[in-house]
Amino acid sequence: MAEKKLLGEILVEHKLILPEQLQTVLELQKTTTPYQTIGRLIIKQGFMKEADLQIVLDRTGKRQRLEEVYYQHRFVEKEDLLLAIDMSRQEQLPISTVLKNLEFIDDEIAAKAIAIQYDLPYVHLNTIQPIPALLNVVNPGYAKSHKIVPVSKTSETVMMAMTEPLALKELKELESMIRLRIQPVIALEREIIALQDRLYNKGGAVAKSEVDIKLDDSFLNSLNEDNLEPDIDAADKQVTEKDSNLVRLVNKIINDACVNKASDIHIEPYPGKEDVVVRIRIDGCCEDYLRIPHKYKYALPSRIKIMANLDIAEKRKPQDGKIDFKKFGSLDVELRVATMPTAGGLEDVVIRILHTGEPTPFEALGLSEKNQQLFGETIKHPYGMILVVGPTGSGKTTTLHSAIAKINRPKIKIWTAEDPVEITQKGLRQVQVNPKIGFTFATALRSFLRLDPDIIMVGEMRDEETAAIAVEASLTGHLVFSTLHTNTAPDTITRLLEMGLDPFSFSDALQLVLAQRLARKLCEHCLERYTPDERELDGLIAEYGGDLLAASGCSREKITMTKAVGCSQCMESGYSGRLGIHELLACTDEVRDLIKQRADTSIIRKQAIADGMVTLKQDGILKVLQGLTDIHEIRRVCIK
């Protein structure tokens, strides 16, 4: 009987490696700890490609069967394995599936067995942090459908974690597509999914340097090739659809901002030879993202203006427009663009990212139990006016849509006028106003009254006309939702009276005012709990301005607080995501009387507090005691 040949001998015989290379690997194997197979060392030394080795293993029968791996490595007892093999044949199921169903092995042992069978490394991904440079290596949809994720990358190779090796044809096609040699490793499916989520949904850490966000190895060099500042005409000529560096740069900035869930992108050119600064706003705070060579200070804004169909020759006055980004990149997102002429004949550009989607569940708004109950009862009224107020970007539209979604049902007709329509939901008839053609909120609201609605939502009360029509609509049997830019709930009443509303009609129409802010939440991965000392606790109680211990339901000794620390999950900021801080003013009979008397804001505020209103800052301090945020963040976003 002919002696079976070893893998190394087969490779040399077929001239896939040289005898000297085999000898080098054999010597290396003697000194390698832990022991590594010949095939793995051949790949590491670069003597063969991974795909070619896998072909040889399959064709020569040198690859172990999974049953042999389980038995030889004592993962399963012999009797248990024989039972599983028999069941596998009867039920036409893979041996690993049967063993897991019988609870003879777990997911980790199954993954290790596959790694041994295919002579591939087994890795844990729990501690691996996503690298922004890996975002564009593999399409997210492809990665998720094939259960793979890039782990690390060099100029020539990418380490790719997978639950089981890709088919050889797929592996070669993927290598050809990404133009990198793939180094497969085996990992648990749940760890792969978790790393995919960190990489594609959160984008990993935002790059802080030009090297981190480079589009390819030569990109930054190409940006710096010419140190001469171009004149305006020359710069404009560079900005065409065919200017690949500039196109890819703009697309990369927008893509990274979307992945990191930023709300705005700020492009800030400076006179002279200072770099163009790009900042992105995440969770309400601006973060430096990138510095671009000064010679692009004319070209970059012009490129964005072309995408937004704006006049690139007009640099003396502000312009605004919008970009449907799916025409230029892979993301289906709408962008609002605003330009502003600045000193030195330059232009700043601010891009607002409109995250369209489904409404937030009403219970997830972060309202306190008392506020949630009162708000929920009020939105079920058949008529009246409900206002949500706060500064730009405080989540007013999100709150309104969540409230409407709670009462949205087929028997109710709902019209909304918005600018822009960011959140969509079935059952609503949504209209986007266009002030440029005279289609304002007031015009839309007046037209709605002829369409027999039950509920009307007006994006914003910008003037007396809109407010007066809203009051009229609420008094004629409609429930009207709207927003206003005021600081607090009592301020809202004063502002509307100053607009010229009739206090008697207004007091009858108003049901509720909800003022809100968005504060950054502490990162759950790194927040630190501590017990405040007496001085800090006394200061917090004084700042609350009421009985904090009764409101929080805690004794003085049991109060704990949290503080920001910073980790890789939150980009070292200590914060991740945002939560709502609310102030709910219910229009009681006493408040209605004060409105009719045109009382001062301070008097209305005192009455609202007497009626049970918790102020913005008080609500924020209560959320501090719940461990959701810290007092520094509440002080940043709230006034007393």
| Whole-number Cα distances in Å, 92 to 23, 84, 97, 98, 471 | 43, 11, 10, 10, 70
Instruction: Provide the pLDDT confidence category of residue 219 given band limits of 50, 70 and 90.
Output: low
Mean pLDDT of 212-223: 47
Quick: pLDDT tens for 220-250.
Answer: 455 555 444 444 444 444 434 345 677 788 8
Instruction: Please report the pLDDT score of residue 175 as a whole number.
Output: 82
* φ and ψ at residue 65, rounded to 5 degrees: -80, 155
The label of the residue with tokens 């790719």 reads 160
Long-range contacts of 200-203, Cβ-Cβ distance < 8 Å, separation of 24 or more: 200/135, 200/140, 200/143, 200/144, 200/259, 201/259, 202/130, 202/259, 202/260, 202/261, 203/130, 203/132, 203/135, 203/256, 203/259, 203/260
Confidence at 217, pLDDT banded by 50, 70, 90: very low
Q: What is the mean pLDDT of residues 104-114?
A: 88
597-609 pLDDT, tens digit per residue, is 999 999 999 999 9
Which secondary-structure segment (H or E) carries 253? helix 244-259
Mean pLDDT value of segment 69-85:
84
Token digits of residue 93: 């199921």
Task: Supply the pLDDT for residue 357.
Answer: 66
The pTM assigned to this predicted structure is 0.60
Percentage with pLDDT > 90 across the chain? 29
Of the chain, the percentage scoring pLDDT greater than 70 comes to: 89
pLDDT at 435 over 50: yes
Higher pLDDT, 30 or 269: 269
Q: What is the pLDDT at residue 447?
A: 92
Counts for the chain of helices (H) and strands (E), in that order? 28, 18
Please report the pLDDT score of residue 32 as a whole number: 60
Burial 58-89 (b: 16+ CB within 10 A, else e): eeeebbbebbebbbeeebbeeeebebbeebbe
Between 352 and 39, where is the model more confident?
352
Q: Which amino acid is at 238?
A: Q
Rounded Cα distance, 182 and 171, in Å: 8
pLDDT grade for 17, boundaries at 50, 70 and 90: confident
Rounded to an integer, the average pLDDT of 475-491 is 93
pLDDT at 204: 41
Residues in CB range of 277: below 8 A, 6 or more apart: 267, 268, 270, 288, 290, 291
Tell me: pLDDT of 38 over 50.
yes
Where does the pLDDT of residue 413 fall: very low under 50, low under 70, confident under 90, or very high at 90 and above? Answer: very high
Q: What is the pLDDT of residue 211?
A: 31
**Which residues, at least 6 apart from 20, have a Cβ–Cβ distance to it below 8 Å?**
none
Residue 216 reports pLDDT greater than 70 = no
Q: Is the pLDDT of residue 162 over 80?
A: yes
pLDDT at 354: 81
Tell me the mean pLDDT in the region 460-472: 91
Q: Above 50 in pLDDT, residue 55?
A: yes
State which of 21-25, 419-423, 506-510, 548-552 shows the largest mean pLDDT: 506-510
pLDDT at position 344 over 50: yes
Q: Indicate if the pLDDT at residue 126 is higher than 70.
A: yes
Place of tokens 């209103």: 613
Chain-wide mean pLDDT for the chain? 83
All residues at 6 or more sequence positions from 198 whose CB lies less than 8 Å from its CB, including other chains: 129, 130, 204, 569
**For position 488, what pLDDT does the model report?**
92
Q: What does the pLDDT read at residue 389? A: 95
More confident: 207 or 358 = 358
Give the pLDDT score at 241: 39
Q: What is the pLDDT of residue 623?
A: 92
User: Residue for token digits 């996503």?
Assistant: 130
CA distance 339 to 10: 67
Q: Which of 190-194, 201-205, 455-459, 539-543 has the highest mean pLDDT?
A: 455-459
Question: Is the pLDDT reported for residue 15 higher than 80?
Answer: no
pLDDT at 233: 43
What per-residue confidence (pLDDT) applies to 639? Answer: 67
Please determine, for residue 621, whether its predicted confidence score (pLDDT) is greater than 80.
Answer: yes
More confident residue, 190 or 49: 190
* Structure-token pair, residue 348: 């700043």
The residue that leads in pLDDT, 63 or 491, is 491
